[in-house]
């Protein structure tokens, strides 16, 4: 019984795989070129009946000493074990096979007997009458049984990644990744003349690059650095007249043990000359539309665009999930002359505000525990009290606030929030700086709670792309409020109409920066760059107070005939994980590092002898050596 369930699971998976496979037309014959096989295991149909074929693959399982189910990346084929006395040797070999052993079978394609066709299986009309078999490798007992594939722990999956990758889901993810990237390349390179340029990964440490891995060289005390992005190189390529550049760029970021971050990741890195913000946005829209798999449904361009201010105002976050509404509602005016102490006190503070979100059916569905969880988030992450108002079926409120609200305010509250019987209102009062992120966070948490009760606030199969634009160019430093730092990076140009503000009111300047958001995740960001050396120098030296000598080569380059230019970088791993609905980017990377940054298969990082480190003129400072070791952490 179990074996049939497994088979069906596989069939369904491979049907899916086959569907996505039609996305790109590959000549089937090309899939078997130079190979021992004549056909793949997913390819044979009734029109092949009578053909002599050779298949290679893995033994999925044996059935009743009658059939071997053979698997390769493309699907499953049923091999009929001959029962004649004259083929007893062949029968013995086939019946002796362990699951996951690797064989080559030659035989004749036959139509399955009437009534035995398997419609759930693309090759279900035929079977192969085996005439010859070669066993390439007998599989030992595996660390987990095949039928447990779907349930195994992530650390086991990582340790035996080469087995995990045999799953149809991982096969699909890696193949989709390859095809997606290929289509992007075709669009950029073949259709629009972008040049694929490889930039170095052994580079110089950038100022403040605390997250850059260092690589010791053979010169004492001198280190390369693995860059977080090819930012400087892409700009230099524009100065070099390359005009249009792209690269599927390997980037590095050392974030220690931050979960769900990979120390190396890939970005679709793009830069072009003589372009403005609208141009880059169109380019990205065109590229995504071109590479988007047909079976995921069309995506509409242009994407929705929202300013940073609108995003913060309506969603409390700069990467809103626009698959659902539940927007932030400003109640400040309603409570302007309130007697309620905490509201009045909040409104009295600079940029003080009272805001709410209305959760449809929240009063009906949420438990006390859910509400406590929301209050807990408000308290621990934002140090705020949250006012919870449930709208009863009869329209009355259930809330500690209830007695403090006059009838007219209550009516106006329901009116402004659109709250209906059964809905839940979450109200917070603080400075905008706090109240927006707080409610933005709770909004997402509420959507998840609703979904856990079977409600569907968002269409989980939808893909909502969104541009967020008009970001502030600088933000006050967290630990030193009078000092400004770049909101993104110091190379972003101001809006043309704000160029003069740089010199007078830098904190008011908006930048030509754009973020691409998909379903509430930031999947890309870019900007039009500063192309005048004097402006770049002013930003570095006078506004950011940085040591501009570290970027002297870039400043010199801008002074040597730099064209106006801009670009973008898309996070390929993140984009793919959203497309396939994977819980982690680890599911779209062939050999990812674990949650804690380790390669569980090979045990990297690993110890290196002091002897081997000598040629790099470094030695290990073991934590027991002395004090002060933790400071750098």
Interface residues for its own copies in 476-495 (CB under 8 A)? Answer: none
Determine, following the binding rule CB under 8 A, whether residue 627 of this chain makes contact with its own copies.
Answer: no
CB atoms closer than 10 angstroms to residue 123? 28
Q: Which stretch binds its own copies (CB under 8 A): 170-178, 299-307, 365-373, 412-420?
A: 170-178
Among 92, 120, 150, 608, which residue interacts with its own copies (rule: CB under 8 A)?
A: 608
Determine, following the binding rule CB under 8 A, whether residue 603 of this chain makes contact with its own copies.
Answer: yes
List binders of its own copies among 111-150 (CB under 8 A).
Answer: 136-137, 139-140, 142
Q: Which stretch binds its own copies (CB under 8 A): 83-91, 111-119, 238-246, 359-367?
A: 238-246
Residue 275: half-sphere exposure toward Cβ, Cα within 13 Å: 24
Q: Token pair of 517, please?
A: 């958001």
> Would you call 257 helix, strand, or coil by DSSP?
coil
Question: Residue 550 to residues 410, 547, 557: CA-CA distances in angstroms?
Answer: 60, 6, 13
List binders of its own copies among 246-305 (CB under 8 A).
Answer: 248, 250, 252, 254, 256-257, 263-264, 266, 272-276, 279-280, 282-283
Question: Residue 449 to residues 386, 521, 526, 552: CA-CA distances in angstroms?
Answer: 17, 19, 34, 52
Determine, following the binding rule CB under 8 A, whether residue 233 of this chain makes contact with its own copies.
Answer: yes
Among 129, 152, 185, 313, which residue interacts with its own copies (rule: CB under 8 A)?
A: 185
Which backbone phi and psi does 353 adopt, to 5 degrees? -155, 150
Among 82, 207, 216, 373, which residue interacts with its own copies (rule: CB under 8 A)?
A: 216
Residue bearing tokens 């040591």: 547
Instruction: List, in order, residues 6 or more apart from 87 with CB less than 8 Å away.
Output: none
d(CA 6, CA 10): 6
Closest CA to 124 of 75, 165, 172, 169: 75
List binders of its own copies among 529-558 (CB under 8 A).
Answer: 531-532, 553, 556-558
Q: Token pair of 273, please?
A: 């000359």
Q: Which is nearer to its own copies, 418 or 561 (CB)?
A: 561
Size of the residue set binding its own copies (CB under 8 A): 143
List binders of its own copies among 60-79 (CB under 8 A).
Answer: 71-73
Are residues 76 and 40 in contact, defined by beta-carbon separation less than 8 angstroms?
Answer: no
Instruction: List, in order, residues 6 or more apart from 402 with CB less than 8 Å away.
Output: 389, 396, 410
Determine, following the binding rule CB under 8 A, whether residue 152 of this chain makes contact with its own copies.
Answer: no
Q: Which is nearer to its own copies, 131 or 559 (CB)?
A: 559
Determine, following the binding rule CB under 8 A, whether residue 620 of this chain makes contact with its own copies.
Answer: yes
Kindly state the smallest distance separating residue 567's Cβ from its own copies, in Å.
12
Determine, following the binding rule CB under 8 A, whether residue 416 of this chain makes contact with its own copies.
Answer: no
Helix (H), strand (E) at residue 159: helix 154-159
List binders of its own copies among 552-591 (CB under 8 A).
Answer: 553, 556-564, 589-591
Q: Which stretch binds its own copies (CB under 8 A): 205-213, 338-346, 484-492, 507-515?
A: 205-213
d(CA 607, CA 117): 56
Among 210, 380, 394, 407, which residue interacts with its own copies (rule: CB under 8 A)?
A: 210
Q: 563-589 burial, b for 16+ CB within 10 Å, e for fewer?
A: ebbbbbbbbbbbbbbbbbebeebbbbb
Interface characters, 346-385, with its own copies (x: CB under 8 A) = ----------------------------------------
> Would you call 628 helix, strand, or coil by DSSP?
coil
Kindly state the smallest distance separating residue 79's Cβ from its own copies, in Å.
16
Determine, following the binding rule CB under 8 A, whether residue 156 of this chain makes contact with its own copies.
Answer: no
Kindly state the smallest distance separating residue 544's Cβ from its own copies, in Å.
19
């Amino acid at each position: 019984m179990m074996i049939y369930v497994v088979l069906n699971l596989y069939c369904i998976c491979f049907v899916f795989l086959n569907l996505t496979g039609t996305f790109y037309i590959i000549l089937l014959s090309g899939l078997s070129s130079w190979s021992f096989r004549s056909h793949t295991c997913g390819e044979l149909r009734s029109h092949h009946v009578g053909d002599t074929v050779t298949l290679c693959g893995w033994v999925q399982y044996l059935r009743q000493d009658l059939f071997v189910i053979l698997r390769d990346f493309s699907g499953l084929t049923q091999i009929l074990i001959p029962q004649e006395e004259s083929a007893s040797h062949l029968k013995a070999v086939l019946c002796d096979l362990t699951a996951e052993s690797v064989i080559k079978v030659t035989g004749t394609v036959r139509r399955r007997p009437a009534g035995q066709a398997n419609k759930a299986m693309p090759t279900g009309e035929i079977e192969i009458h085996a005439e010859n078999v070669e066993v390439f490798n007998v599989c030992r007992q595996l660390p987990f049984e095949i039928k447990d594939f779907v349930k195994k722990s992530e650390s086991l999956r990582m340790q035996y990644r080469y087995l995990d990758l045999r799953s149809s889901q991982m096969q699909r993810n890696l193949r989709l990744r390859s095809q997606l990237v290929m289509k992007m390349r075709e669009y950029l390179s073949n259709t629009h003349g972008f040049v694929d340029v490889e930039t170095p990964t052994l580079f110089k440490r950038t100022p403040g690059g605390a997250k850059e891995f260092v690589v010791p060289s053979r010169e004492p005390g001198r280190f390369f650095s693995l860059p977080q992005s090819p930012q400087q190189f892409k700009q230099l390529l524009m100065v070099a007249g390359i005009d249009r550049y792209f690269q599927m760029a390997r980037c590095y970021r050392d974030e220690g043990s931050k979960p769900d971050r990979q120390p190396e990741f890939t970005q679709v890195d793009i830069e072009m000359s003589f372009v403005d913000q609208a141009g880059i946005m169109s380019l990205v829209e065109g590229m995504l539309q071109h590479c988007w798999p047909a079976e995921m449904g069309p995506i509409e361009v242009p994407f929705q665009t929202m300013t940073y201010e609108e995003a913060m105002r309506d969603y409390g976050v700069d990467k809103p999930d626009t698959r659902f509404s539940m927007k932030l509602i400003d109640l400040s005016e309603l409570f302007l002359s309130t007697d309620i102490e905490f509201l009045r006190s909040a409104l009295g503070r600079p940029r003080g505000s009272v805001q709410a979100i209305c959760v449809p059916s929240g009063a009906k569905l949420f438990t006390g525990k859910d509400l406590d969880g929301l209050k807990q988030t408000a308290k621990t992450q934002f140090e705020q009290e949250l006012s919870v108002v449930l709208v009863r079926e009869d329209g009355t409120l259930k809330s500690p606030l209830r007695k403090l609200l006059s009838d007219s305010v209550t009516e106006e509250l329901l009116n402004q929030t659109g709250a209906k019987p059964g809905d839940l209102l979450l109200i917070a009062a603080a400075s905008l700086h706090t109240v927006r992120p707080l409610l933005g966070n709770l909004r997402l948490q509420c959507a998840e709670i609703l979904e856990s009760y079977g409600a569907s606030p968002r269409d989980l199969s939808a893909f909502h792309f969104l541009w967020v634009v008009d970001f502030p160019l600088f933000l006050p430093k967290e630990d030193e409020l009078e000092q400004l730092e770049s909101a993104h990076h110091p190379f972003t140009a101001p809006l043309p109409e704000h160029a003069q503000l740089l010199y007078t009111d830098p904190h008011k300047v908006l930048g030509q920066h754009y973020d691409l958001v998909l379903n509430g995740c930031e999947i890309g960001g870019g900007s039009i760059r500063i192309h005048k050396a004097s402006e770049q120098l002013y930003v570095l030296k006078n506004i950011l107070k940085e040591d501009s000598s570290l970027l002297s080569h870039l400043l010199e380059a801008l002074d040597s005939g730099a064209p106006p230019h801009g670009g973008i970088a898309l996070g390929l791993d993140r984009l793919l994980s959203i497309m396939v609905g994977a819980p982690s980017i680890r599911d779209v990377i062939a050999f990812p590092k674990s949650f804690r940054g380790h390669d569980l298969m090979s045990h990297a990082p690993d110890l290196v002898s002091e002897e081997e480190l000598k040629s790099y003129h470094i030695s290990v400072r073991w934590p027991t050596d002395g004090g002060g070791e933790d400071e750098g952490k």
